[in-house]
Structure 1
Amino acid sequence: MGVIRRGANGGFKGKAGSVIGSSWKSIDYIKGLYKKRTKPATEEQLMQQAKFTLLMRFLLPVAPFIRIGYGQRRADTQTPMNVAFKDNINRTVTGSYPDYELDYGQIRIAEGYSAGGAESATVADGELTVSWDTTLNKVYKQEADDAVYIVLYHPGTDQFMTTPEPPQRMDGSATITLPAHFQSGVGHVWLFTADRKDKNVSKSVYLGEVTLG
Structure 2
Amino acid sequence: MGVIRKGANGGFKGKAGSVIGSSWKGIDYIKGLYKKRTKPATEEQLMQQTKFTLLMRFLLPLKVFIRIGYGQRKTDTHTPMNVAFQDNIDRVITGDYPDYALDYSQVRIAEGYSAGGSESIAVDEGVLTVAWDTLLNEMYEQRDDDRVYVVLYHPGIDQFLTAPTPPQRADGTVDITLPNHFRTGQGHVWLFTADRKRLNVSRSVYLGEVALA
What TM-score comes out, normalization by structure 2 length? Answer: 0.96
1:3 aligned residue: none
Question: What residue identity is the alignment partner of 1:141?
Answer: E
| Aligned-residue RMSD, C-alpha | 1.1
1:102 aligned residue: 102
- Cα deviation, 1:155-186, whole Å, max 9, x if unaligned, reads 01000000000000000000100111111100
User: How does 1:1-213 map onto structure 2 within 5 Å?
Assistant: 8-213=8-213
- Cα deviation, 1:20-59, whole Å, max 9, x if unaligned, reads 1111111111111111100011111111111011101110
Q: In percent, how many aligned pairs have the same letter? A: 76
Secondary structure of the 2:197 match is coil
Whole-angstrom distance in 1 between the partners of 2:116 and 2:165:
22
Residues paired across the two proteins, number: 208
Whole-angstrom distance in 2 between the partners of 1:199 and 1:30:
33
| Pairwise CA distance, 1:7 | 8.5
Whole-angstrom distance in 1 between the partners of 2:121 and 2:163:
14
Q: Alpha carbons of 1:7 and 1:82: their partners in 2 closer, same or farther (altered >3 Å)?
A: farther
| Pairwise CA distance, 1:8 | 5.0
Whole-angstrom distance in 1 between the partners of 2:192 and 2:32:
40
Whole-angstrom distance in 1 between the partners of 2:7 and 2:18:
19
Question: What residue identity is the alignment partner of 1:76?
Answer: D
Whole-angstrom distance in 2 between the partners of 1:142 and 1:20:
47
Whole-angstrom distance in 2 between the partners of 1:55 and 1:33:
27
Structure 1: gaps of 5 or more residues: 1-5
Whole-angstrom distance in 2 between the partners of 1:11 and 1:63:
30
| Pairwise CA distance, 1:116 | 1.9
Question: What residue identity is the alignment partner of 1:198?
Answer: R
Structure 2: gaps of 5 or more residues: 1-5
Whole-angstrom distance in 1 between the partners of 2:119 and 2:27:
41
2:3 aligned residue: none
Question: What residue identity is the alignment partner of 1:52?
Answer: F
Secondary structure of the 1:160 match is strand
What TM-score comes out, normalization by structure 1 length? Answer: 0.96
Question: What residue identity is the alignment partner of 2:10?
Answer: G
